[in-house]
Structure 1
Amino acid sequence: MGFLLGAMLLLSQQGILDTYSLQMDTILLDSLYSNPYADYHFPALIVTEAGACSCLAGFRGGTSLNLPKKSWKFELFDNTLLNASHILLDAQYRDLTLMRNVLGLYLTERLGRPASMTEHVELYVNDEYYGVYVQVERIDEFFYDRNNLGYGPLFKSVNHLGRFAWQPSDTLGTTGFESKRGSEAYLPLVRQLIDAVNLFTPLSIDQDDYLAYAAVSIAILDGDALSKNYYIHFTPEGKWRFYPWDRDATFGNTWKGEYLPGWTQLKSVYCFERSSLISRLLMQDDCSTQFDDYFLHAGEIMADELPFIIDSIFLDIQASVFADPLKQGTNDEFVEAVAVLRQAVIDRGQFIPGIAGAYTPLHVESMLLSECEFESDDDSVTVTIEFLEPAALANLHYWNDAVEVNSVEMNQDDQFGYVWSQTVNFPAIYENLLFSVGSKAQVGSGRSNSFSFYPLYGPPSSISRRVCAPSARRSSWQLDFTKLEVLSPVRYTLFLWSIPVVNTSDDLQDLSLCGFQTGDPPARVFAGAGTIVIPGDTIYLTNDQAMLELLLPGKTIVGDFVIDSPANTDLLLLDPSWETEMQVTLEEENPFYQSGLALNELMAKNDTTISDNYGEYDDWIEITNTGSNDINLSGYYLTDDAADPFKFAFPDTVIHPGDYFIVWADDD
């Protein structure tokens, strides 16, 4: 240990930065570099200024894993050493200055909102100098404690679907958000937030967190923010908090590491315009005012403070960066990049007051399609949108599952700019077309700085990242909502219900791309392509599609509604263009079995939770008597195969009211 500490102190004389020294078996280290995408984490020893401890060491990051200089993660076995569970070291290879992430997170903290602390450090691996890294504070219990935040479910937006977009029911519905710190069971809370944002119901969020985050994102022109690279945290008070992350594609730097001259004069960025939450908030006068205040304050900090912070960081890291063997570029390029960044933050800070007050999303009164159901021939669709405020321009975006997004300018249909329309071809080779409208508001004699969209999240960033939108489709079966009979909701277990909808016609009913909305506050789901109900059959709307598929194998099921119960609320059925075609007030729930028997709970993949009398961990189903009389199970059967309804015969057993009976799925 003494030798390691001595070596660390000797080598750190290249600069004045804190130093980490990692000791790892060379075979394991070679394995890391040979398999950078394998997510390996190997035992190692980390030596710090405060002492040493064992750890698990590995690479971290996404697209950066293929770069010469890797980012690192050390999971500490002794959390008391640094009052932290992990050390996260960002290589910042694509940022020649190694400062952008530091400056971006600093701005959020200066605006009074929580953000990770950062520090430039040196790293040695097996006594070899690996260069300068940015240590970034992990979002975890230590971060919560430092910011006086309670513990709660945590999620990270990892791609551009993490912008609170509705997704078809044949997807997870929360794709784009990644559960962190064991929060998988709470993903429905994210789905609930997506509904609240897009249905304009009350939001349980810290508005200042998000407004400050958005203001900084525009101030530093973060091309990777708002629709990805941020954390959301559900606190014990039932409020969502927002924390920025990965602010290196900023201040004119792209995620590829390319510098954009003239960025200081730009007014908007893709991710800002596609954020449904910022559009929703900026439609409120109080939020719009607060956003402008944060935006102007960020500009002042950039012009007045950041140049001196850049100078200070440069003095601290210059010697260490010059000696960095893995950095991008030469020493002269590093010095030049810092000088360019220093002047750019001044220019941008001085430019911001001139563009404040003009981020104005438009409210949409209606968006109508001339027709939403077509047969097999080539045809066309006219899309008409009406705004509550005059628009300066409007663009129609359209796409399907096989074609990237196309865009065309819309025509102004009235004198003042409230109504716009455009007609596009609907070729016979396409099964569907989805539509979104981007618009800019009239602001004084000019226009808004950025586009806003309907739906709020706009078109997809790629066709593989599917979002829901008003649609036109081709189908061999015309949809007739008058032939659909909505039955009373059915309660299966404490956490599972469905709404049966029966096709009473003699024809198939194609519900592909149709929407369903119920609950108070409401939730909405959209059927995926190929959702067809045969005559006399039933489609089941539910809060847990995967669970109901276990109980009703082979049935057509659409979910997931994140509501406790649909009873005594209205059910809206929407056609593919999102027009409401049917509205029904739902009645009280009926239990699954009128006899009083109900499937109360089941567990699939029971690996370690509950064992049977033989110590085996088999899947199980729990049945309860919800009635007021004894029930003899003799004559009842249980099956997971619709073709074999008598697969398991219950024994001659009596369940008393309120009692439970467990069936172990072990074939015994």
Structure 2
Amino acid sequence: MRWFIILFLLLVGVTALKGQPTFPDNGPLFVDTTVPRIDITINPDTLNWLYQNENLESDIEFTARFIFNNGVILDTIEPVGFRLRGNTSRYSQKKSFKVSFNRFTSGGKYFGVEKLNLNGEHNDPSVIRSKVCWDIFRKLDIPAPRSNHVEVYINNDYYGLYISVEHIDEEFVKSRFTNNDGNLFKCLYPADLNYLGEDPDLYKFEPYGRRAYDLKINKEADDYTDIANFIDVLNNTVSNELKCDLDEVFNTYDYLKVIAADILVGNWDGYIYNQNNFYLYNNTVSNKFEFIPYDYDNTLGIDWLNRDWGTRNMYDWAQHGSNYRPLYERLMSDQELRDQYTFYMNRIVTETLDIDSLITAIEQRRDMIAPYLVNDSYYPRDYGYNMDDFYNSYNNALGGHVDYGLFPYLQTRMSSIINQLENTEMNPVIKYIKHQKISPTEAQVVAFIEVQNNPANVSLEFSLDGSNWNSTIMYDDGNHNDGLAGDMIYGATITGMIEDNETLYQIFADDSHGNSNLMPCEPVIINAVDETPLLFINEIMASNESTIADEHGNYNDWIEVYNGSDNAIWLGNLYLTDNLDASNKWLMPDFTLGSGGFVLFWADSDPEAGEFHTNFKLSKDGEDVGIFTENQSVIDEIVFGEQTTDISYGRKYDGNINWVLFNTPTPGSTNIPDGISDVIGVDQFVLYPNPVSGDVVTMSKNINYKVYNIFGQIIGEGNNSNQINVSAYNKGIYIVISDGGSKMKLIVN
């Protein structure tokens, strides 16, 4: 049955590749076909304090009211946190702001977002450049913030046209990478990714009163081991091994697209030129760092360094001299990776982005936002811009830091890129590789394959015994768990896996010109098939306010696990997870769960609180829970939707296939069917022996009782008795309930 369920999910589900990013739609908050209105109401004295020169660097958040109106939705949220944000914008006349929905409301979100950045774009006379960049990134499938234009009012005074930008935090990475328990680093100047030494603490240096690599998730652990290892691999791997070794710790292929996008939009204030403005996230599904772009107002012809970004060499974008950028320069020095970068850039400027269509789309957005700039009294305060400058900035340089009009920059940059492109072809890109056992002898393998010259020929190379290799064709036809036909996701099945043998595999691809690749560099190991124990995720609660407290008195989320086998099961080599793509997320404690027993795990993301406390929390909005073996075989899994506070979700009966809601949860004990009281009575009693192997079980005192099976049926009863004859009972679990309401679980072996 267990393998059937897994196969069923594979057949009906949408293929999710390992580490492949996802992209949420704009939703109501980031709708960009209109200009929503945001109102902030805050104490006037507080607002005045924020604008005082001595307070401009303060990150103190003050209480405020937030009102959002996009013409369809009108919402009021209070209290929210409100403060200034940014770097140079703090000293501009038109300032930028941060709104925090979770600052004063624990777990507070608005349309899935905990924080919102309201950017004044004071350097950009077109008030559109960063929005254009974010839209290009989305078109290129690069995980980047969502954004839209908004009109901002504070205390009913118009503060002008802003760009609202999604904040990069744990909610952002969860929505893009399906996990948020990895380390997230905000990297600011001088974050050059150069090697400083083996000690992880060396990367905690603070050049300007803050860390260059500033940890934003898992701050309490403050563990920089992963980023230190990544930087070590990046800098110290010999050249002929760089592609393979870096692929183990970094999503290299997707970063090559980021390089192409950065150079297209003329981003000089990012990593490559200015060692600034990016995030690194350690994706716990792929165990690779992801590069996340950040802050794109100084782009598309904006220049403060007297450089011509419209014609600069696309293969020599970094600063010259002693300013070494290993993540860019080492990739450009590797011919295979350089060729793949060339392919991405060529496709962007010749296929993905049509310059005429792009300009037309920008003109339409310009005309949509222009009316909101007419009465923006803050727009002219920094550089004296007026509405003529606004319109002219799209076609002409305005002098000063505006070297190009927006459209001439795009035309110049795309033309110069076409002239600079090297005449090379890339080897196939093979990424997002994932496997899943679908039976004890079969495993499904899927991957994303991209070639320069179609058609692609893709094969799965595998060994069942570690020495003899076999080959089977991988298909992109929609019939091999490969998503949709023609979506560049390929699938195949390994059959004939041998018990107690490791299975090895790699993926080979070539194109019509003979360019080929074999990835991963080292074969993936599918461990020997496990004897999966009969454990069940029996009941969960994703929002616990008053149901049951842990040993510290805290009301945390919880997961109940049930042993449905006839034998005790040691849990110390098994894993519990809230992400089915990250099967080894939390190793269970050194604990033996008896036959028919229950154990409760606290999902509080605080493993230091005790051995039964996991390193993840459950989401009230819904997510996954799974139990896996050390060899990544699934034991049990459940995907649940939005939950209600203090109502649990569990199997109708212990180990049953059907799931129901329990108004009266049963943490740590049997799931009692509807109609049976689970109130603990005053006439408590004890059963012994329990479990029982003989014909009779004795109670600690005489009571009136009924015996129920796991289907809620009465199968026995007694009056003023202290014994139960179980000779006719089948092996299994039963519930004994007294007239007074006390209950005990009875196990018959």
Q: Which has the higher contact order (CA 8 A, sep 6+)?
A: 1
TM-score (norm 2): 0.43
| Alignment TM-score, normalising by the size of structure 1 | 0.48
